[in-house]
């Protein structure tokens, strides 16, 4: 009996400590809910005032006229106009940390749920996860393409791979829309590229087995293998850029300067670009190959010309966008050099 009482006392003591802990949790949670309520009210209030200020600034800008003013007055008005432009961009920076309505695509896929992440840390973590997701799927695709190319020639396994490609590209378009909502400067073409790639993989999925399919299959699988390899290089370059840019933004790593970042970026780019351009010309080759196959009398499949055209669009978009990106970077680098002199 003695032993039982001792155990009961111990149990009661422990229960007491659980009670205390629970009380603290409850109080903290209550405070948290209250803060959450306040934050949500502040978000609506600030969003509304920003919208109001935007509209009134726009009206004000339209009402500002320099016609018939003296030189001094015109200068003054121009200065105000410049300030308004600056103000607009500051307002946009503020909006990056407020809930936002989704665009049409995200509304269709997700409904109107807020996807704006409300801190820099969360935004950065989401971007990292996007890069890692691409890497993981690339490994799976590489294995599948390798198996199909060298070991297994079943239409069904090919279909499995193409199905994965359709799913992957669709997922990327959703993730990229979320990234853009969160302030990423990803070019519209790269997103369009993923829409077109999803379409292309879908068309290949419906291509019936036959002589033409078998002729195209080998080089398509080799291209998939090559693309996965380039994706590894791209991952290394892009995650390196992200890491360095973040360090530069936070300034906790004082060894890193803008020039240091740019020299790393150019070293990465000059290594990557030949591989990228080779991939682009492979897309052009696939397009010419398919389009020259299309008019042959035995060719009845519509997939041949549609895939040929899609490859052509992909080649043109990828090639010209990459050149535009490099030109823009060259201009920025020389601008930076002349500024630092």
Closest distance of CB 322 from ligand COA, Å:
5
* Sole window of 4-12, 28-36, 50-58, 317-325 interacting with ligand COA (rule: CB under 6 A): 317-325
Each residue 15-54 as x (binds ligand COA by CB under 6 A) or -, in order, gives: ----------------------------------------
What are the helix (H) ranges across the chain?
Answer: 2-63, 71-95, 104-110, 120-150, 155-181, 188-206, 211-250, 258-293, 303-340
Contact 144, 123 (CB under 8 A): no
DSSP state of 142: H
Give whichever of 162 and 318 is closer to ligand COA, judged by the CB atom.
318
- Give the residue at shortest CB distance from ligand COA: 279
Closest distance of CB 328 from ligand COA, Å:
7
Closest distance of CB 150 from ligand COA, Å:
21
Which residues lie closer than 8 Å to 335 by C-beta, 6 or more apart? Answer: none
Among 127, 175, 217, 244, binds ligand COA (CB under 6 A): 127
Closest distance of CB 167 from ligand COA, Å:
17
Give whichever of 63 and 89 is closer to ligand COA, judged by the CB atom.
89
The count of other CB atoms within 10 Å of the CB of residue 15 is 10
Token pair 């704006």 in the structure block, residue: 116
Q: Tell me which residues in 199-258 interact with ligand COA (CB under 6 A).
A: 227, 230, 234, 237-238, 241
Each residue 72-101 as x (binds ligand COA by CB under 6 A) or -, in order, gives: ------------------------------
Closest distance of CB 165 from ligand COA, Å:
14
Give whichever of 102 and 182 is closer to ligand COA, judged by the CB atom.
182
Q: Classify burial at 22, counting beta carbons within 10 Å of its beta carbon; exposed 0-12, middle 13-18, buried 19 or more.
A: exposed
The Cα-based distances of 29 to 26, 32, 36, 43 in angstroms read 5, 5, 10, 20
Phi, psi for residue 185 in degrees, rounded to 5: -100, 25
318 is a site residue for ligand COA (CB under 6 A): yes
Contact 239, 131 (CB under 8 A): yes
Tokens of 184: 């990423």
Among 39, 94, 125, 186, binds ligand COA (CB under 6 A): 186
Calpha distance 50→30 (Å, rounded): 30
Calpha distance 328→187 (Å, rounded): 12
322 is a site residue for ligand COA (CB under 6 A): yes
184 is a site residue for ligand COA (CB under 6 A): yes
114 is a site residue for ligand COA (CB under 6 A): no
Closest distance of CB 329 from ligand COA, Å:
7
The separation between CA 106 and the C-alpha centre of its own chain, rounded to angstroms, equals 14
The separation between CA 202 and the C-alpha centre of its own chain, rounded to angstroms, equals 22
Calpha distance 139→145 (Å, rounded): 10
Among 84, 164, 205, 272, binds ligand COA (CB under 6 A): 272
197 is a site residue for ligand COA (CB under 6 A): no
Closest distance of CB 169 from ligand COA, Å:
12
Closest distance of CB 320 from ligand COA, Å:
11
Size of the site for ligand COA (CB under 6 A): 17
Sign of CA dihedral 249, 252, 257, 261: negative
Residues that bind ligand COA (CB under 6 A): 127, 184-186, 190, 227, 230, 234, 237-238, 241, 272, 276, 279, 318, 322, 325
């Amino acid at each position: 009996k003695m032993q039982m009482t001792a155990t009961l006392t111990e149990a009661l003591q422990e229960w007491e400590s659980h009670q205390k802990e629970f009380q603290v949790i409850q109080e903290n949670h209550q405070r948290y809910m209250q803060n959450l309520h306040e934050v949500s009210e502040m978000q609506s209030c600030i969003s509304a005032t920003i919208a109001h200020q935007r509209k009134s600034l726009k009206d004000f800008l339209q009402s500002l006229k320099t016609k018939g003013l003296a030189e001094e007055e015109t200068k003054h008005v121009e200065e105000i106009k410049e300030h308004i432009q600056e103000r607009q961009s500051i307002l946009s920076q503020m909006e990056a940390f407020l809930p936002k309505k989704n665009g049409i695509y995200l509304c269709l896929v997700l409904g109107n749920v807020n996807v704006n992440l409300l801190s820099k840390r969360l935004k950065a973590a989401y971007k990292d996860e996007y890069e890692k997701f691409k890497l993981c799927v690339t490994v799976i695709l590489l294995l599948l393409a390798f198996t199909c190319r060298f070991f297994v020639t079943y239409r069904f396994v090919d279909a499995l791979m193409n199905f994965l490609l359709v799913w992957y590209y669709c997922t990327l378009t959703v993730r990229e829309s979320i990234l853009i909502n969160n302030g990423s400067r990803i070019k519209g073409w790269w997103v369009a590229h993923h829409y077109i790639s999803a379409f292309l993989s879908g068309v290949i999925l419906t291509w019936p087995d036959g002589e033409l399919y078998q002729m195209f299959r080998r080089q398509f699988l080799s291209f998939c293998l090559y693309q996965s390899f380039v994706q590894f290089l791209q991952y290394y370059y892009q995650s390196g850029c992200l890491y360095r840019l973040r360090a530069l933004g936070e300034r906790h790593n004082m060894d890193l300067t803008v020039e240091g970042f740019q020299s790393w970026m150019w070293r990465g780019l000059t290594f990557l670009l030949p591989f990228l351009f080779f991939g682009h010309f492979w897309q052009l080759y696939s397009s010419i190959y398919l389009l020259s196959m299309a008019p042959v009398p035995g060719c009845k499949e519509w997939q041949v010309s549609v895939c040929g055209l899609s490859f052509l669009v992909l080649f043109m978009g990828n090639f010209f966008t990459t050149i535009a990106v490099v030109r823009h970077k060259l201009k920025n680098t020389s601008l930076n050099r002349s500024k630092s002199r």
